Amino acid sequence: MADRADSVPGAGYEEQYEARYEERPSRTVAGAVLWRAGGAGSGIVLPDGCMDLLWVDGRLLVAGPDTAPHPAGEVPGSGFAGIRLAPGAAPALLGVPARLLRDRRVELADLWPAAEVRRLTARVASYGDPRAGLEELARLRTADGGLPDPLVAEVAARLRAGQGVAAVAGAVGLGERQLHRRSLDAFGYGPRTLGRILRLQRALALTRRGLPQAAVAAAAGYADQAHYTREVRALAGTTPGAYAAGAAYAAGSAGSAGAKREIPEPSGSRTTA
């Protein structure tokens, strides 16, 4: 599936897609990003807290929230389109707790009645661009009661801003255990893990801007550069230096055509490494 990062060109030391990657913000689904790509490459997808509804060679699938790097080619296909949903938005739309989809790519028919999925598959296929069909599907589900809990959106925003778990729990009026349970259903993991993932995405975005590693670590909120290095290894399976070198190469390779781009977080990703 596509990698999800933060709306900028450049990627990691291997490209997820060879070419023909495009994306744009959804006009009708708040916080969502629509994307398409010609086919999977040999890169990896990094965690970003997001979930995607995918169209792969005429099939509907769901990509759950990641806790570790995933190979870009784990879902085989020659053409991909998707709608990437912001952290916490997908469970209300899908009617499935995010914790059940953590680190998984599943057929939509495994989650919804087969007859309903066949009808929706035909509907998406009727659009010239499957992204438009996915966007309409998400819009209708949202209008039909699939709006995310405002508390969930606030939790994600506060964690993205770098607030600690205790501060977030106090701000939204929950105990830390309650917040953990709510976060498992909304994001697929607890608030501490989501905070680490969102902090990593902040750091990688700064790296793609060319900042030195020590400056990235300080600006993103790590205790020191060693802490930043450990987190990149743990969550991205690479090193800050290797990622920075790959991002510089990818930015140069993308050129004016915009190919070999990385996909933004709205969801969610995220980044190739």
pLDDT tens string 42-53: 577 899 999 999
Taking only the tens place, the pLDDT of each residue in 199-248 is: 999 999 999 999 999 999 999 999 999 999 999 999 999 999 999 988 77
pLDDT of amino acid 191: 98
Q: pLDDT tens across 158-213, in order?
A: 999 999 999 999 999 999 999 999 999 999 999 999 999 999 999 999 999 999 99
Q: Is residue 153 part of a domain?
A: no
**pLDDT band for position 79 (50/70/90)?**
confident
Task: Please state the pTM of the whole predicted model.
Answer: 0.84
Please count the structural domains in the chain. 1
User: Residue 99 belongs to what domain range?
Assistant: 22-147+198-257
User: Does some domain include residue 205?
Assistant: yes
- Cα–Cα distance for residue pair 108/35, rounded to 1 Å: 18
- pLDDT surpasses 70 at 73: yes
267 within a domain of the structure (yes/no): no
Domain membership of residue 133 (yes or no) is yes
Lowest-pLDDT choice from 59-63, 132-136, 145-149: 145-149
Instruction: Say if 179 falls within a structural domain.
Output: no
Q: Say if 184 falls within a structural domain.
A: no
Q: Which residues contact 105 (CB under 8 A, 6 or more apart)?
A: 1, 54, 61, 62, 63, 64, 74, 75
Overall average pLDDT of the 243-263 stretch: 55
Measured on CA atoms in the order 197, 240, 265, 211, is the torsion positive or negative? positive
CB atoms inside a 10 Å sphere around CB 54: 24
The strand ranges marked E within 152-223 are: none
Q: Is residue 67 part of a domain?
A: yes
Phi, psi of 233 (to 5 degrees): -65, -45
Percent of the chain residues past pLDDT 90, beyond the cut: 70
> Does the residue 266 lie in any domain?
no
Mean pLDDT of 23-37: 93
Q: How far apart are the first and last CA of the chain?
A: 14
